[in-house]
Structure 1
């Protein structure tokens, strides 16, 4: 092994449905072929951020490979905050929103090439009430869907589809929100308000056509109505931006206050109910090796 070339490999052994043994073996074999020394860390759910930070300080790897979902990526990004290190993503979670949005391939061998070798893109994050969001957070209908999904036994896209139908059928009245953004105060009723650093949910559905993860901005997407017709339009990529049903504001900071507690989720993880959100962009928070574009 070339002792001067060292990568840290962080793997979440329980995320998603993929066999981590296969990924571990593939990463180790790839590293050996490339003559790269590999230090492996398996997350446990306890003090992972501290453990990863300590390993980084000890070994100073040139790259950190991550096999897991958005939650695992976020832990690593926070552990090595402000460090000049490239993150190589091997999508292996139940929610792979970041890799979907960045158009990662599905084949492991292709993602190994990207993680080990490709150039990096500096990505923003969004801070919401002190919590960091990689790509998409929201209040309202989808957050309720996430809560229902987490409580269900059916996983994957089928589970999301089933919960989507059930959540649409049980949805409550629209909530009232006051939004301070770009010097304006907007009062609106909404079924759902999205805080989007990117374009797509992990299911591949585009909710924010304006999204760019490296522009120092995020978008507030207000969905004033949300029924099966609008849901169908969004799922098929026909977001109605000219009907008054949807409004989008691009900004670097905002405040949102609701009259009643509203369901809230960050990056596919339910985070309870909120009545007030303080949101601002965190520019260039992490370097991620990304697929090459033509």
Structure 2
């Protein structure tokens, strides 16, 4: 069974709070993220960014409903849910002995019957994903033998191979050098231009400001949610980092620059 997607809604959460064990990690949520847009989640270390993304992915229990395309996650058949939402976690472990090709091929599992071999369409999607992330030449190497950046691109290829309309990514730029960060940006923009949705946790504020919308998290709460080009968003971003960053326009892009802590005046000798 395939549930009809609600128009213009990707994921959302209505929650009274989220805890890990007895430790509260997120406060109340009333969040709806639109389809067909790229939302970047940013905030100081320990603010709750990754926790929020895990809640939206259904990987962490919260006190209230989480929705996918307007429907509660629990109403989605598991296979169809896996086809709708692709996940890339932070510093994922495992599968070290698998070839890069086989790791990316795992993204096709939601499209295969139980114990069925990969189809021609599965192999075509896997190759396209590895080529899009520029790791096709590494397809026969074990994941554990790759560099951090190469490994990250293989894991990104696994996400692409799912061919899901919604991507949730936690720190997808980890270990990537600037050229490959630019390649990632191109992949994201192409997906959104084709009607897809991206939600990504990012530490790189300059890259986050390339998104459509910014979701700012601080102290376990959503401090601001707005367009990246908005002056209100820029002020909220600076406030979230205690005025230690400033936002500037360079050409047609917004950049965030660190602000040094003022030095105390030198004491007279």
TM-score by length of 1: 0.30
Determine which structure has the larger strand proportion and give its number: 1
Determine which structure has the larger helix proportion and give its number: 2
